[in-house]
A and B are shown apart, each in its own frame.
Chain A
């Protein structure tokens, strides 16, 4: 088996895609881009070609970093069943880190939940791992992601306060951006959203990040 390299700039986001979680998902995308990394998500995948699980294998294989959110443990409102995709993809990521080659072993994982120790009641095999709590607050998720990326990448990143200020400025502009681009501001497609964030970050003046 060849040693598959991971991209040290790529961060896999494993999280719910429902409307209620969308503000936190957006905050995570923003945190990754503003810190100079590249978000990767199953949302970027086209439907044709390989099976979905093969595409997720490839995504996980390519990413050095993974942010996994286990918030969504409640039953699905439509089917009255829990969603297992997030724990499955976390397991795949941990498996790649455990059993993969030297590049895969260098993977780093951030696990988020609404409460720090709630996982003990539904996925107790994670005992001993450092679970980070965001309390369902996108701003806390943003800061957790930034702090973790600074820690594991050892890169010099903008401070959490600056990241927060820049994100708030972006959120203030988002309704106008959505209007100009003829999007419902709550339903901007993932691929467009990350392009909007990227372009806004390039064009936004330095004063936006200042205290």
Chain B
């Protein structure tokens, strides 16, 4: 009886192995999900605390640049 050795590492076997690994690495039930780390907007002088950037899942109706300009102009008037 012929001895059965390891499966030869043919190009086809290699492609199948890579496809298997890719599927396993991207399936949600085979990886540990990690929540995204919030970004930091900056530090608040009024409180001394860092302020975290909001979650960007839904589009804001005005741009961050416009909000920044509005805040600066309103605060400047109070000086």
Residues of A within 8 A of B (CB): 1-7, 9-10, 33-40, 43-46, 62, 157-158, 162-163, 166, 169, 173, 176-177, 180-181, 189, 191-192, 194-196, 198-206, 208-209
Contact = CB atoms under 8 A, between A and B. Distances in A.
A34 B49 CA distance: 7
B60 A192 contact: yes
B68 A201 contact: no
Q: Which secondary structure dominates chain B's binding surface? A: loop
Contacts of B30: 2
B32 interface: yes
Contacts of A202: 41-44, 51
B62 A206 contact: no
In this complex, the interface size class of chain B, counting residues with CB under 8 Å from chain A, is 35 or more
22 contacts: A2-B28, A2-B29, A2-B33, A5-B32, A7-B35, A34-B47, A36-B52, A38-B53, A39-B54, A44-B54, A45-B57, A169-B46, A176-B77, A181-B62, A189-B61, A191-B60, A194-B54, A195-B60, A203-B68, A204-B46, A209-B45, A209-B46
A interface secondary structure, majority: helix
Contact of B64 (A6, A199, A209): A199
